[in-house]
Chains A and B, each alone.
Chain A
Amino acid sequence: MRYALLMHYREPAEGEISEDAIAEAMEAFGAYGRALEQAGVLLSADVLQPTAATTTVTRREGGVLRVQDGPFAETKEALAGVFVLDVPDLDAAIGWAEKCPGAQWGVIEVRPTATAFVDGRWTR
């Protein structure tokens, strides 16, 4: 079963985090990614740019295309990264989420996948 681990945390201001801390976090994420890969559960892993770089697209209001800068909701904590895993059940997904370095300074939302586009079609 596919689960998305959604990392949320407060976006640090420019220069707020020291070079050393960044290097340390990158090392932790490197080890985490390798562990996921070795376990054979990793489908994809993306850590996102800050919300300053995000663009929101919608046709929700009357079918009119609206493209605007910034995230769709301004919150203190923002979506910061997405890991998609294939594991047997929620306990396994929680087990990986608690090892995620992002859990040290943010929260990890564990969300089961409803359907995924695989081999040319949506799975059921």
Chain B
Amino acid sequence: MDALTSEDGRWVAGPGPGATGPAAHAASLAARDSYGRLLALLSASASDLASAEDALADAFERALRTWPAHGVPGNPDAWLLTVARNRLRDHWKSAQTQRVFPLDAEQDAPAHIDDLDVDAIPDRRLELMLVCAHPAIERAVHTPLMLNTVLGFTAEQVGQAFSVPTSTMATRLVRAKKRIKAARIPFRIPGRGDLPARMTAVLEAVYGAYVIDWATTGPQARQLPPEALHLAEVLTRLAPDDPEAHGLAALVQLSAARAPARADANGRFVPLADQDPSLWDPRLIDRAHEHLRAAHARGQLGRFQLEAAIQAVHCARRQAGTTDWPALLTLHRLLHAIAPSLGSGVALAAVTAEVEGPAAGLATLDALLQDAGQHARRFQPARATRAHLLDQLGRSEEAVAAYDSAIDLTHDTAERQYLQHRRDRANRCSQRC
């Protein structure tokens, strides 16, 4: 299925034109919202995503043929849903296909466009997201499947984001969809007992659209279109009472808010401490704070809320002019206690160094690396942080070696240049001293 965009109220099937500006951006998001909603509705009764995609693609094609001549219908979504449902019904009735699942009276009754109120139909995208992150689906496919079905990204776009050839990504997506249908993974909100674990999988899959899994894939620049930010926002609307969904949205937005300051005019990497806060996006920061307030109101702390709170403290430098390091240390300690990971440990070491000095930071880091063992060796942030701390302590020779090992693991050009610059400076110092 190609990406869908909406231009001047007209639906366009095919890769987006890459239009810029807030209006075009809003239109593109609305198109992706519609796509995900329609696909979830069409695939829910039979757990059949592939047939639903085909039917929806047919409906879009027909829209492109008929709307220019007859005008855009009053409710384009209702029109598309009706046409796609009729397509699905034809498909089910055809000789090749025999039904192995019961008819759903509400879903499958003949529908007429006029009496179809799309807004009255429940939004089933949360069920779709739960299916994408189902334990019976391979973990590595959760995020790609979500981007493909909920937001309508093509296999090519998702493949680019995960540094995988289009054909490989397409095969993975097709295999996952076949599995969902064959094993009958239900489009249903699980019971109270299973829900927390299943929502965690959904949150992690959404998070997976923004973070780089250093340990397994190595750092690569994500080429995900900016609409991917929208996935976290959608989840907060589908699960408004889940504080972690709000925490995740805040985290993603605060991180995205700083993107314009991450590279200087020459494309060189600028670390957080040296970034110019006036370049941070105040609109995204405000939106993130709304989510943090919504999360806080639920009174239940979690990993994503803590990570977002940490980002919020960093972003507060925009107003305060300084960074509240003791507050950060408290938050990092909490985070590392409730959700320990290599990443949270390295961050804790870096903040410890800010508050208690580089020697204390290095001790924290080395203790962590010793506990983590072999698989921590390829963790670039640990290597880079260790180099900085040795550098600060004036242990220049060790710092040069540490910078070298960090550089070997850094694929991002801007960040590699930055580390090389720091290494050369440490090298000059070690020769002078």
Chain A residues near B (Cβ < 8 Å): 1, 88-92, 94, 110, 112, 123-124
Are A1 and B184 in touch, CB under 8 angstroms? yes
> Contact at B190–A91, with CB atoms within 8 Å?
yes
Question: Given the complex of chains A and B, what is the CA–CA distance between A123 and B99 in angstroms?
Answer: 11
By Cβ-Cβ distance, the 6 closest A-B pairs, closest first, are: A89-B186, A124-B98, A89-B184, A90-B183, A90-B185, A112-B183
Q: Which B residues between 128 and 166 are near A, CB-CB below 8 angstroms?
A: 134-136
B320 within 8 A of A: no
In the bound complex, what is the Cα–Cα distance between A91 and B100 (angstroms)? Answer: 17
Least CB distance, B384 to chain A, in whole angstroms: 41
Q: Give the distance to chain B from A43, nearest Cβ to Cβ, in Å.
A: 16
**A115 CB, nearest partner CB in chain B, Å:** 9
Q: Choose from A90, A123, A124 the contact partner of B184 (Cβ within 8 Å).
A: A90
Q: How far is the CA of A110 from the CA of B134 in the complex (A)?
A: 14
Chain A residues with CB under 8 A of B136: 90, 94
Q: Report A-chain residues with C-beta under 8 Å of the C-beta of B186.
A: 88-92
Write the residues of chain B forming the contact surface with A, with a CB cutoff of 8 angstroms. Answer: 47, 98, 100-101, 134-136, 182-186, 188, 190, 194
20 contacts between A and B (CB under 8 A): A1-B100, A1-B101, A89-B47, A89-B185, A89-B186, A90-B183, A90-B185, A90-B186, A91-B185, A91-B186, A91-B188, A91-B190, A91-B194, A92-B186, A94-B135, A94-B136, A110-B183, A112-B183, A112-B184, A124-B100
Of B100, B136, B190, most A-chain CB atoms within 10 Å: B100
A-B pairs with CB below 8 Å: how many? 31
B182 touches A112 (CB 8 A): yes
Of chain A, the residue at the smallest CB distance from B194 is: A91
A92, B184: Cα distance in complex, Å: 10
CB distance from B277 to the nearest CB of A (A): 47
**Alpha-carbon distance A90/B185, docked complex (angstroms):** 5
Contacts of A124 in B (CB 8 A): 98, 100
Least Cβ–Cβ distance between B137 and chain A, in angstroms: 10
- Chain B residues within an 8 Å CB radius of A110: 183
Contacts of B190 in A (CB 8 A): 91
B56, chain A: closest CB distance, angstroms: 23
Q: Shortest Cβ distance from A8 into chain B, in angstroms?
A: 17
Report the separation of the CA atoms of residues A1 and B135 in the bound assembly, to the nearest whole angstrom: 19
A94 to B188, CA, bound (A): 14
**Once bound together, how far apart are the Cα atoms of A110 and B136, in whole Å?**
10
Q: What are the residues of chain B within 8 A of A1 when measuring CB–CB?
A: 100-101, 184
Q: A89-B184, A91-B185, A91-B194 are in contact. List 6 more A-B contacts (CB 8 A).
A: A1-B100, A1-B184, A88-B184, A89-B47, A94-B136, A124-B100
